Structure 1
Amino acid sequence: MKLKDKMKKALKIKEDNFGNKINFSYPNKTLAVTITGNECSLKCAHCNGHYLKNMTPIDNLYEKIKKRDIKSFLISGGCSFTGDVPINRYIDEIKNLKKQGYRLNAHLGLMSEEYIKNIVKYLDVVSFDLVLDDATIKEVYKINKTKEDYINTYKILNRYAKVIPHICIGLNKGKIKGEYEILKFLENENPKGITFIVLIPTKETEYENVAPPKIEDVIDIICEARIKFPNIPINLGCMRPRGEYRKKLDEMAVSSGVNNIVLPSKEAFNKAMKLGYDIQKLEECCVL
């Protein structure tokens, strides 16, 4: 099927199931918190700890709460050498935030079942980066894990928590490698939603000079998801290239049946208006 026809099909499915509404998220009321500061043991090829620098260290979060109207938290951090985010060491702080009425989303990584059961009772949702290509896991994360480890962790999370799979399109040097397999796997898993992000070639990482995936390839995967999953929210998350790339991607994503775009470009807004959509502006993380 030609991409143009696939986009039309995906858009009709979205409109049939969700009407003419679209959400645009400006997550100013969700505070991104790191439990490891700037440190990450893995030094992944696409990140190298870069994005932790923009997050608030957990020890400083109450200073931020005093200055901003915060309603929820995205709790994350660097991974250990086994691929988990060691969030359980801060379980008392997380319990306290939940007790105060904040909504909590967390990245746990490849966490053990014991630790998952311990922490998820205090979380509203878990965001899980799902990777099902062994070569990509080795190339990007540099850990001795396989797609089976990701499948097993996802299934455990699904038993105990609301989990939203995150799919990074082009994670392996900007190439499409394993993304369609993830969608095929999810068909039997009854996901509550899917969030897509897109590789950003980031300075001071191994992938600084790679090209992001072709926009048409990204859109084809988004359309595939909408066709396979007609009734669940599909998000285009905050992690995606900026500039002209984002302008074109966002505009095409609106026409491909997404439910929510985080920090949308003006072009996305204009396309939604042209389609006669009822635009809902949200103030928190897209999975919340």
Structure 2
Amino acid sequence: MISEPDPSWGIEAFDAAPLDARLVGELLAQATPSPVRFHVPSFKAYRSSEIASCGMGRWPAVSITGPDCALACDHCKAKILAPMIPAPTPDALWRVVNEEIARGAHGMLLTGGSNRRNEVEYDPYLPVLRRIKDSFPRFGIALHTALTDETRARALAEAGIDVAMMDVIGAQDTLTQVYHLKRPVADFEASLAALVASGLRVVPHIVLGLHYGRLLGEWQALEMVARHRPHALVLVVAMPFYAPPTRPFATPNPEAVGRFFLDARRALPGLPILLGCARPPGRARLKIDAYAVLAGLNAVAHPAEGVVELAHRLGREVHVMPGCCALAGEVALGAEILGAAEAPPGRPPAFPVPVVTHG
């Protein structure tokens, strides 16, 4: 690690989290100054001196099983579901959607706990999903499918959801040890293929560091995504504080994550690649977010402090949106929200002093 950046980069060093200089150089060499979106969906509280508002209430997360999940995977133990709005029946989902729209919601993330086959049992909810889309056509529905098949994928498409999301896992050891799941990796590729064939907008997720904090099957998952060419790819990073003490996770190495960003951008030219909401906090998050912007990823959700300024310093056109990154551009999400001070034409907004990192 070094403390001073290469002057040719035109950016300053993050004092709080120096980056790997060689990796920074590789990322900058292959990235293009394309526009970048910073998303602030209201799944959780978010504050930043660079962004004025997080659009609270515009994009709630709803679980059809409440906090319950039969798998209880080691990385989550269903804790991700606990703060979501429960909708345990179709009537409850209809009521929740009407209440959230009255409060100003523009869309929702819909998910639920899995059964022991890693399936979320949406079948009873399909008629109410169709009713929601017919009654509120501009209300976005991003749905986490878990594993599925061709029949269910077509049924979700007929119900009118806007985006289908699923985790793509490429290592059998991860399925067996972390997910406690008795299904092969091939079932994940078959589910992705079924969703793409249904005509849905499909935005799969790859969880980096899912095998107790280290990268194991992520490159195989990337190959699956490349074979089936969905609409976009979301990358998230395992958050070790959900793991039980008996099966602890290490915090994924930010440099390994940054190199995966580089590999993903090379493997999927022209495909939007987004850094989603889930990432470890603190220094690791700052470094991961900086590598994402340096790599030319198309969007970052809940950016770390200073990362919006970094994008400006790199010459990237910045947009800040209140909705889910997986759905942006497909439904009306409302006006941009950008908490930057006014600046003269041709100059970046007056954010606090940047902090870009190499090291």
TM over 0.5: yes
Residue of structure 1 in register with 2:295 after alignment: 256
Q: Secondary structure, in 3 states, of the residue corresponding to 1:30?
A: coil
Largest Rg, 1 or 2: 2
Percent identity at matched positions?
27
Of 76, 87, 101 in structure 1, the residue corresponding to residue 122 of structure 2 is: 87
Of 250, 273, 281 in structure 2, the residue corresponding to residue 234 of structure 1 is: 273
Distance 1:233 1:212 in 2: 26
Distance 1:124 1:67 in 2: 20
Aligned length: 281
State the 4+ residue runs in structure 1 displaced beyond 4 angstroms.
none
Deviations 1:101-134 (A, max 9, x none): 2111101111233222212221111011000111
Of 185, 190, 199 in structure 2, the residue corresponding to residue 147 of structure 1 is: 185
Are residues 23 and 66 of structure 1, via their aligned partners in 2, closer, same or farther at CA, if it must alter by over 3 Å? closer
Whether the aligned pair in 2 keeps the contact of 1:86 and 1:108 (CA below 8 Å) is no
Residue of structure 2 in register with 1:107 after alignment: 144
Are residues 206 and 94 of structure 1, via their aligned partners in 2, closer, same or farther at CA, if it must alter by over 3 Å? farther
Are residues 116 and 187 of structure 1, via their aligned partners in 2, closer, same or farther at CA, if it must alter by over 3 Å? closer
Question: Counterparts in 2 of 1:107-256, with a 5 A limit?
Answer: 107-121=144-158, 122-160=160-198, 161-203=200-242, 205=244, 209-256=248-295
Of 65, 68, 85 in structure 2, the residue corresponding to residue 56 of structure 1 is: 85
Whether the aligned pair in 2 keeps the contact of 1:201 and 1:212 (CA below 8 Å) is yes
Whether the aligned pair in 2 keeps the contact of 1:6 and 1:220 (CA below 8 Å) is no
Are residues 113 and 169 of structure 1, via their aligned partners in 2, closer, same or farther at CA, if it must alter by over 3 Å? same
Higher fraction of helix? 1
Relative to the length of structure 2, the TM-score reads 0.74
Give 1:286 shift.
Answer: 0.5
Q: Unmatched 5+ residue regions in structure 2?
A: 1-21, 43-57, 328-359
Residue of structure 1 in register with 2:38 after alignment: 24
Q: Unmatched 5+ residue regions in structure 1?
A: none
Residue of structure 1 in register with 2:26 after alignment: 6
Are residues 178 and 255 of structure 1, via their aligned partners in 2, closer, same or farther at CA, if it must alter by over 3 Å? same
Q: Secondary structure, in 3 states, of the residue corresponding to 1:211?
A: coil
Distance 2:145 2:266 in 1: 29
Distance 1:206 1:84 in 2: 27
Whether the aligned pair in 1 keeps the contact of 2:145 and 2:166 (CA below 8 Å) is yes
Give 1:209 shift.
Answer: 3.6
Give 1:244 shift.
Answer: 1.8
- Of 139-148 and 109-118, deviating more is 109-118
Residue of structure 2 in register with 1:97 after alignment: 132
Whether the aligned pair in 2 keeps the contact of 1:45 and 1:206 (CA below 8 Å) is no
Deviations 1:128-185 (A, max 9, x none): 1000111111111111101111111111111002211100000010111011122223
Structure 1 counterpart of 2:64, one-letter code: I
Structure 1 counterpart of 2:152, one-letter code: Y
CA RMSD of aligned residues (A): 1.8
Give 1:274 shift.
Answer: 1.4
Give 1:219 shift.
Answer: 0.7
Q: Secondary structure, in 3 states, of the residue corresponding to 1:150?
A: helix
Relative to the length of structure 1, the TM-score reads 0.92
Of 269, 281, 287 in structure 1, the residue corresponding to residue 320 of structure 2 is: 281
Of 103, 109, 112 in structure 2, the residue corresponding to residue 77 of structure 1 is: 112
